[in-house]
A = this chain, B = another copy of it.
């Protein structure tokens, strides 16, 4: 029933009460996010928050020497720019578009005003933030204890869950940046998955051929995060 472009493709916006949605919708601006575009820069004050619909955004922690690590990924289930309503205004991390697609942009002040009404939106955003925290925590423990192979599977599955298709546009170089490992390491791990017939890699395009196969190889971290997202955000919707 969704129009081709409908803010309610974003799950947070879809869960708002009628009143809230009607207050916000005149100020929602549809934007197309390009691969690699930066939505949030470390320490810079944001003017907008973003509600992805069919795009994916990575939250990255970047260090002085340029090395980076993805700490969480945001798709249609979430929002980019939580520090606006959390009160800090800025954050030391970056937000990079990991998969091009659409999103709805909202002025930061409008969001804060609505947040301060302490209605459904506030509760939704806080629950979402807690889910995000879980993802970050699990990422930390995964970084510590699990093999690159497993982490790559986790990353692919988390991305896949946020995509309408089975195709990912993403070079190994970029994945390496996300995971905070060498590009060659990704080549090697991806090669294993490819030889096992789980994925097919071709110059920046990954096709997932066997999702159950990936789920059989992934570490528990994926399930922990997914379960917590389901619990907190109740994804009982069809699409």
Contact = CB atoms under 8 A, between A and B. Distances in A.
Interface of A: 59, 61, 63-64, 67-69, 71, 82-83, 85-88, 91-93, 116, 118, 123, 126-127, 129-134, 136-141, 143-145, 180-181, 220, 224, 228, 231-232
A144 to B, nearest CB: 4
Contacts of A127: 86-88
Given A116-B118, A129-B86, A141 B71 contact: yes
Contacts of A88: 127, 130-131, 231-232
B228 A92 contact: yes
Given A69-B145, A88-B232, A145-B67, A140 B136 contact: yes
A134 B91 contact: yes
Contacts of A145: 63, 67, 69, 180
Contacts of A130: 82-83, 86-88, 91
Interface of A is mostly: helix
Contacts of A67: 141, 145
A93 B100 CA distance: 33
Contacts of A131: 88
Interface-central residue, A126, A132, A224, by most chain B CB under 10 Å: A126
B136 A137 contact: yes
Given A71-B137, A71-B141, A86-B127, 7 more contacts: A63-B220, A69-B141, A86-B130, A87-B126, A136-B140, A144-B180, A144-B181
B86 A141 contact: no
Interface-central residue, A64, A131, A141, A145, by most chain B CB under 10 Å: A141
Contacts of A140: 61, 69, 71, 136, 139-140, 143
A88 to B, nearest CB: 4
28 contacts: A61-B138, A61-B140, A63-B220, A68-B141, A69-B144, A69-B145, A71-B137, A71-B141, A85-B126, A86-B127, A86-B133, A87-B130, A87-B232, A88-B127, A88-B131, A88-B231, A88-B232, A91-B130, A91-B133, A91-B134, A92-B228, A93-B134, A118-B118, A132-B133, A133-B133, A136-B136, A136-B140, A139-B140
